[in-house]
Amino acid sequence: MVSNVTYIANIVHPVQLGVLIAIYFFYTGLSAGSFVLSSLGTVFGIQKYKPIAKAGVVMAVSLLAIAPLHLIADLEQPQRFYTLFFRLNLHSAISYGTFLLTLYPLNSLIYGWFLFRKDLAKGAKELTGFRQSLYKLLTFGKTDLSEAALAKDTKIAKFLGTLGVPLALMVHGYTGFILADIQSRALWHTGLMPLIFLMSAMVSGTGLLILVLMFTQRFLSPERSLTPERKALILDIAQLMMWFIVVDATLMVIDFIMLYFTSAAGHFAAQLFLYGSHRTMFLGVEVGLGLLIPFVLMLLPRTQRSLGWISIASFLTLIGVIAMRINFVIGGQQVPLSGDTLNPYTVDPKHLVFITLFAIAELTILYLAFRILPVYGLLKAKSAPDLYQKEALSK
């Protein structure tokens, strides 16, 4: 007599997607969020957001210039990354992502050029020295400043911005699809995953934009000051960030309710984050620091009008979203597929070095872009009475 015997082996599945991938997701989210905010004035016609259009697209392009480096550094043979362009797999989200990561920055660059062309052309005529030569080069000979030419620029920029919004959302949304498509990972396998990634991208993108606006307008703009108009706009963007936090938190609550009650594997994953070893990183850093505290700061009348508290809230959202990427990417793989022992993960020190170098490169690119390009326009020439009044006061 032969009986059926089932053997269950507790196999450790190593964590394949490490911290470099988590930070890559973070960068693409920042880029997508920045581009969407840039489009609020140019595409959606909300006039009060037009002053941040150029800052948003500069951030979007700069962030996406560095983001793919994390993917390349994560490859065992980074010199072969280009083969993804020649091996299209219509059933692979990663294959689509390869082309999205190419089309989106190219579209953003052209969109940004049409936003900048007016100031570049004016600078090529009015400035001297290095900037004049650079601006003249960047105009590519298109120096026409007639009303018809500027209206054409606006029309083309709106078209490219309209095309860029879905591209930006797909560039970051596909990262959620990559995870959601893996059925064996209970934490990932949900239709909410792309939405969760997109909304957290809007939270972090808004937070970074606020910090960049505060710094660059104060130290790198022609006026070197936060004017009342600029301060009012930052306060408005901060309120926008608060509502992004509300939507992001709501999606997270729905996701964990479904996770907790739908399957045994999902229940185990939810318990790990709510009561287990990942509780501090999830509830303490991601939810507490990254969502709850910024929301309270943006809600209270005394703190929602303070640029200092707004900058703290914005910085905390960045910390929270980094924690979210690590929790979901790495923590999702640590949930065992068999047995009850977590799959181990140790950060490779070499990867931390890459992350640090890429962050320094990103900050350098952002600084140079805002320092050199006319993100806030050209310095307006002072009128004769203004100059006379200034000289009289100095005496």
Which CATH number belongs to the domain containing residue 229 in this structure? 1.20.1630.10
Mean pLDDT along residues 308-332: 95
Tell me, what's the pLDDT at 265? 83
Q: What are the Cα distances from residue 247, in Å, to 42, 153, 231, 354?
A: 24, 35, 25, 33
Banded model confidence at residue 393, pLDDT cuts 50, 70, 90:
very low
- For 345, other C-beta atoms within 10 Å of its C-beta total 14
Instruction: Please give the tally of structural domains in the chain.
Output: 1
pTM, two decimals, is 0.89
Q: What are phi and psi of 319, to 5 degrees?
A: -60, -45
Residue 69, amino acid: L
Nearest to 115 by CA among 181, 69, 173, 49: 49
**Domain membership flag for residue 7:** no
Percentage of residues in the chain having pLDDT higher than 90: 64
Q: What are the Cα distances from residue 204, in Å, to 70, 221, 256, 325, 394?
A: 18, 23, 21, 11, 45
Q: Which stretch of 78-87, 197-206, 316-325 has the lowest confidence by average pLDDT?
A: 78-87
191-222: pLDDT as tens digits:
889 899 999 999 999 999 999 999 999 999 99
**Domain membership flag for residue 394:** no
Tell me, what's the pLDDT at 102? 87
Q: Is the pLDDT of residue 390 over 60?
A: no
Using DSSP, state whether 326 is helix, strand or coil. Answer: helix
Nearest to 208 by CA among 313, 64, 333: 313
- For residues 195, 200, 205, 210, the Cα torsion angle rounded to the nearest 10 degrees is 140
**Domain membership flag for residue 389:** no
Using DSSP, state whether 322 is helix, strand or coil. Answer: helix
**Domain membership flag for residue 392:** no
Q: What are phi and psi of 309, to 5 degrees?
A: -70, -35
- For 252, other C-beta atoms within 10 Å of its C-beta total 19
Helices (H) and strands (E) in the chain, counts: 15, 0
**Domain membership flag for residue 4:** no
Mean pLDDT along residues 18-38: 93
Q: Under a CB-based contact definition with an 8 Å cutoff, are residues 104 and 64 in contact? A: yes
Nearest-5° Cα angle at 275, 271 to 279:
105
Most confident of 98-102, 237-241, 270-274, 391-395: 237-241
**Domain membership flag for residue 280:** yes
**Domain membership flag for residue 246:** yes
What angle, rounded to 10 degrees, do the helices at 228-262 and 193-219 form? 160
Q: Based on C-alpha coordinates, what's the Rg of the chain?
A: 24
**Domain membership flag for residue 108:** yes
Tell me, what DSSP letter sits at residue 346? Answer: -
Domain extent for 33: 19-336+347-371
Mean pLDDT along residues 218-244: 94
Output b/e per residue, 36-67; b: 16+ Cβ within 10 A: bbbbbbbbeeeeebebbbbbbbbbbbbbbbbb
Q: Specify the length of the chain in residues.
A: 395
